[in-house]
Amino acid sequence: MSYDLFNLEGKVAAVTGCTRGIGRSVAIALAEAGADLALLQRNPDKTDLKEEIERLGRKCEIIPCDLNKQEEVEHAIPDVVERFSQIDILVNAAGIQRRSPAVDFPQSDWDDVLNINLKTTWILCQQAGRYMVPQKSGKIINFASLLSYQGGINVPAYAASKGGVSQLTKALSNEWAQHHINVNTIVPGYIATEMNTALINDDNRNQQILDRIPAGDWGKPDDFKGTAVFLASEASNYVHGHQLAVDGGWLGR
């Protein structure tokens, strides 16, 4: 087998949620595989990731984009194309969480979660598709969740948003596979990131989770590097509408 299947040299990847956690690891992995990076981030003054990617010898640009502001989201992909003259890979890794019993769940929290996790993903996919369909190529990687399959507790908005991401991915895949555009999702299990700090620090809940994971430990952001490169590269050319779990065996149990 040729490792050229995983070579991303000459490709341009746009990534959200890249300043920390899984998104950061994915951005670095794509750069390590040869891609140039457009970092869609709210704070353009946070340049540490840009500098790290440039040290790998890749071009990297920060595209200012507050995912709470629809106008900025709508302009993000055109800005990427203006700076790089192309877009080949889109990774929607940004996501937020709010926890509350359903009867008390604030409408504002519902709106925030659905807006960031689902609507923004839709807009960026649509914008990327407008370039990828005419060029007859592209890779879109969305981030779903175990709660795309399960309902969870005290997280109605998150479960709804991630269920929506999975179905959106399938819908776009059905339309765009004929144009040689691969639209797939990565499904993280329980990963040691800032979003899960409260669970990790709750000794009882943490132990319940560990007991349920066949691998016996929380995942790490770097566990997504290989998965992301696979779905962004020619190695996945016949993979469409798939949900690839990186979960330590959680869903298989």
Query: Out of 149, 158, 190, 238, which one is annotated catalytic?
Result: 158
- Give the model confidence (pLDDT) of 142-179 as tens digits: 999 999 999 999 999 999 999 999 999 999 999 999 99
Task: Using a cut of 0.85, tell me whether the model's pTM lies above it.
Answer: yes
Fold that domain 3-193+221-246 belongs to in CATH: Rossmann fold (3.40.50)
In the chain, where the domains are located: 3-193+221-246
pLDDT of residue 199: 80
Range 209-216 contact pairs with CB under 8 angstroms and sequence separation of 24 or more: 212/250, 212/253, 213/189, 213/247, 213/248, 213/249, 213/250, 214/248, 214/249, 214/250, 214/252, 214/253, 215/248, 215/249, 216/248
- Give the model confidence (pLDDT) of 35-88 as tens digits: 999 999 999 999 999 999 999 999 999 999 999 999 999 999 999 999 999 999
- Give the model confidence (pLDDT) of 216-234 as tens digits: 999 999 999 999 999 999 9
Q: Answer yes or no: is pLDDT of 204 > 90.
A: no
Is-catalytic flag, 158?
yes
